[in-house]
Amino acid sequence: MDLLEYQAKSLFREIGIPVLPSQCIDHPRDLKQLDIPYPVVLKSQVPKGGRGRAGGIRTVENTIDAIATARAIFNLSILGKYPNVLLAESHYDAQQEFYLAVILDYSLKRPVLLGSCQGGIHVENVMAQMQRVVVKDDFSPFYARRLAFKMGLQGYLIESVSDIVQKMYQLLIQKDLDLVEINPLGVSASHEVMALDGKIAVNDHALGRQSELANLASSLTHTPQPADQPTDLQWTDSQGNIGILCNSPCLAAATLDLVYKAKGKPASCLIVDGYASWDVPSAASPVQQLQNALQQLTDTQNIQVVLVNILSNAAASEAVADVIASYLLSKGGQNAEISVVDYAQTPKTGKSNSRDSRNRRRRNLTSKSASRTDMPHLVIRLVNGKIDSSQNRLAALPVHWMDTLDQAVAQAISLARS
């Protein structure tokens, strides 16, 4: 169970993690009694990521603008969820932003500290600088300071950030949590640090021991998604012909933004949880989720291109590539007319865009069938990919190895238009 931001920050405040003055808003008219001076940031309170890109976080300068903006946010669906409450929070001028998290790694059976010197909504930048420290023995301040050093922090930031990491760890243990995340942790020009956003994942099995969390859980209406099914982002064009598959709401929102800006037409966008960007364990089967998502997108009649954009660590990238390869080869066994364009963060290993390959793809495009017997094009981008072991399996397919999202989006749109 994921807590709402205002609930997470309430726990932050109890443990001593600095948070901004804030006030919960149940109705736009409540803003007439706002105790916080303007400018104020209004935030949709839904247990979903990607709120900023979806328009669920906005800064307002006065009461009139605040009321109008609050009405819009209350009526804004984010991943199919409408907020019952908004958080009005003081505006904060951050000179730097960091990412911090403490998670319970079920594969290691140990807590893990995560930190990046890049924070905020740009997931790729955050992930590129991600550092991790496994807590192997009883926790001590050494682990938090080691993370700060690995993040490249210096001077006062070492003490400030390591102190917050210690409190995050303390909160994780005291409350039986699966995840405590601050993204971003803002640093002002006066060297003040502030948790500007927070996420807490509660271990459902611990609610019997945590009455405070049980009370918070009772205030949330939680309809669980079937464990083996991807989440539908629900921001799609019914006339579109591009399917999108990502592994986080923020990444999906960024991909959709680029596709729309390039005049592409998304038809469906799915999010799989199993290969989470921060190594957070999922209750769902990651293999089954990915297979089901690929099946759903490739079987949709109007989808001509599937754009896969996945951020993960090296081990997970290899597993993702293996699942995709197995799926494509299984479909290829049923039908030889498969056209694949594959992008990954791997050096180009050879030229597969030969004249024969292009001619084969052109013949595939002209093939006609009353039902969906051919595969749509797949444009696949994996970040942090160590997928050498899958290259031989994919060698029989026309595959291009590249690494940027811009190139993948451009290629997907080009194929969709052709």
User: In this predicted model, what pLDDT tens digit does every residue of 252-270 receive, in sequence order?
Assistant: 777 887 888 888 888 888 8
Stretch (H or E) spanning 341: strand 341-342
List pLDDT tens digits, range 206-224: 666 766 776 666 555 444 4
Q: Give phi and psi for 132, each to the nearest 5.
A: -140, 145
**Count of positions (residues) in the chain:** 418
Do strands 110-116 and 57-60 pair parallel, antiparallel, or not at all (unpaired)? unpaired
pTM of full prediction above 0.85: no
In this predicted model, what pLDDT tens digit does every residue of 14-71 receive, in sequence order? 999 999 999 999 999 999 999 999 999 999 998 877 788 778 999 999 999 999 999 9
**pLDDT for the residue 391:** 60
d(CA 207, CA 253): 32
Short-list 36, 111, 50, CA closest to 79:
50
Do 382 and 390 meet the contact criterion of CB atoms below 8 Å apart? no
Q: What is the pLDDT of residue 207?
A: 65
Amino acid at site 387: I
pLDDT digits 0-9 by tens, 97-151: 999 999 988 778 889 999 999 888 777 788 888 999 999 888 999 999 999 999 9
Nearest Cα residue to 171 out of 45, 16, 4: 16
Q: Rounded CA gap, 416 and 418, in Å?
A: 6
Residue 289 binned pLDDT confidence (cut-offs 50, 70, 90): confident
